[in-house]
Amino acid sequence: MKEVGPHGGRLVERLSPPSVLSELAGVPRLSISRDAALDMENIGTGVYSPLDGFMCSEEFISVVRSGRLPDGVPWTIPIVLDVDEEQLRKQDVREADTALLEHQGVPVGLLEVEEIYRYDRKEYAQRVFCTMDHCHPGVCKVLSLKDVLVGGKISFIQTVDARFPKYDLTPRETREHIRKMGWQHVVGFQTRNAPHLGHEFVQKSALMVLDTLYNGKSGLFVNPVIGRKKGGDFTDEAILAGYEALLSAYYPKHRTLLGIWKTEMRYAGPREAVFHAIVRKNFGCTHFIVGRDHAGVGDYYKPYEAQEVFKQYPDLGIVPLFFKAMFYCKRCGGVVSEDICPHDEQAHIKFSGTSIRQQLTRGIVPHEMLREEVARALLGIENPFVEVDERGEKPCEYRV
């Protein structure tokens, strides 16, 4: 099979060496958030192809209202840079200027300022998250953004998060690995959690589907999100420790690749499911797993709304693989879905993050949910759960 092309037809790489910093005397400097710094890295390394910078107003409005870029290319999540107006005034940053973007004093990259514009936060939140409930973590963040957005092309210089270099693969590096392994088809798996038995069942089922459909060499790209999450989610360290334990013990090494995606979870449900697929296409995946309540939180979205939305994007260029909710059936003696299990709910053990957390906190290994090796890896971490997120909100403050 011909290698899947990047989204929009080109792999964007906008990179500058750190040596360029010596040439920037007198360039105005803008302080940005960690999430914006990670977005900048994702633009610069091609994860967000075909974007080459933070969105200007035309792109922003088109994405918010139609889920597409102005040229019709599917894109569902705004990638924007909010900046304090006072900071712009102090640094005398204007359109057509070049600014150095920094996070906590660390230079991240350069921005060619094309447009400084105002926007409608409420429309942004309502259209992207389908709610204005302040308890929704995505809505809460959007409503806390600064009044002004700055759009323009970027040049990425250096990361603000270099904790996991072994798994920090760019799209170019991932595609080179796929070619080296000879994989003709690759299925991507998005996760913000440590792996439980339901995840393993879905991943291996997807590999078998590809083998059956195409009768060729296929691979699995496990691509956990590393970045800001809500309270109650697994920490980045726990997610990777769990997957290291699982993949080394239960997966053939020549069929799997573990690589991280440094970003925040937005919890935008259907919109984010499409966005997740686009990103995995840029990493070189031909297929993408979409499960129940993908990228959802609480009860803001219908259980399979994130699967239905793909009907609106027949031109996405990556094939979604839909899976129903999985659970452990005590009568069946294994992981099943509602479509293949004849037993009533009394025999079912749902894969509950809350239950896993409670049992692990007590030092108990829930064998119907977790592999022993994964549980031990998680228990080996001092605190495998995010207690409070960056906004200071505890897990109970979200409807999870």
> Is residue 75's pLDDT more than 50?
yes
Burial group, residue 357, by CB count within 10 angstroms (0-12, 13-18, 19+): middle
> Is residue 118's pLDDT more than 70?
yes
Mean pLDDT of the chain: 94
How far apart are the C-alpha atoms of 167 and 80, rounded to whole Å? 26
- For 329-368, what is the HEC assignment? ECCCCEEEECCCCCCCHHHEEECCHHHHHHHHHCCCCCCC
> Is residue 2's pLDDT more than 80?
no
CA R_g for the chain: 21
> Is residue 396's pLDDT more than 80?
no
Tens of pLDDT along 129-148?
999 999 999 999 999 999 99
Tens of pLDDT along 308-339?
999 999 999 999 999 999 999 999 999 999 89
Residue 383's pLDDT band (cuts 50, 70, 90): confident
> Is residue 394's pLDDT more than 70?
no
pLDDT of residue 338: 87
Please report which helix (H) or strand (E) contains residue 88, including its range.
Answer: helix 85-91
Distance of CA 108 to the CA centre of its chain: 20
Tens of pLDDT along 158-197?
999 999 999 999 999 999 999 999 999 999 999 999 999 9
How far apart are the C-alpha atoms of 252 and 358, rounded to whole Å? 31
pLDDT of residue 7: 98
Tens of pLDDT along 292-306?
999 999 999 999 999
Average pLDDT, stretch 40-62?
A: 98
Residue 391's pLDDT band (cuts 50, 70, 90): very low
Average pLDDT, stretch 67-78?
A: 98
Please report which helix (H) or strand (E) contains residue 226, including its range.
Answer: strand 218-226
pLDDT of residue 400: 28
* Strand order, beta sheet including 348-350: 334-337, 326-329, 348-350
Q: DSSP letter at 4? A: P
Q: Which pTM value belongs to this model?
A: 0.95
pLDDT of residue 228: 84
Average pLDDT, stretch 70-75?
A: 98
> Is residue 399's pLDDT more than 60?
no
Place of tokens 């919890």: 267
Tokens of 271: 């919109």
| Kind of pairing between the strands at 326-329 and 348-350 | antiparallel
Residue 389's pLDDT band (cuts 50, 70, 90): low
Place of tokens 């914006």: 36
pLDDT of residue 229: 81
> Is residue 1's pLDDT more than 50?
yes
Active site residues: 192-193
Q: Which domains does the chain have, with CATH numbers?
A: 7-156 (3.10.400.10), 165-397 (3.40.50.620)
**What DSSP string runs through 150-217?**
EEEEEEE---S--S-GGG---HHHHHHHHHHHT-SEEEEEEESS---HHHHHHHHHHHHHHHHHH-S-
Phi, psi of 289, deg, nearest 5: -80, 130
Residue 386's pLDDT band (cuts 50, 70, 90): confident
How far apart are the C-alpha atoms of 225 and 91, rounded to whole Å? 34
pLDDT of residue 58: 98
Please report which helix (H) or strand (E) contains residue 115, including its range.
Answer: strand 115-118
List CB contacts of 195: < 8 A, sequence separation 6 or more. 242, 243, 246, 370, 371, 374
Residue 262 contacts residue 168 (beta carbons within 8 Å) = yes
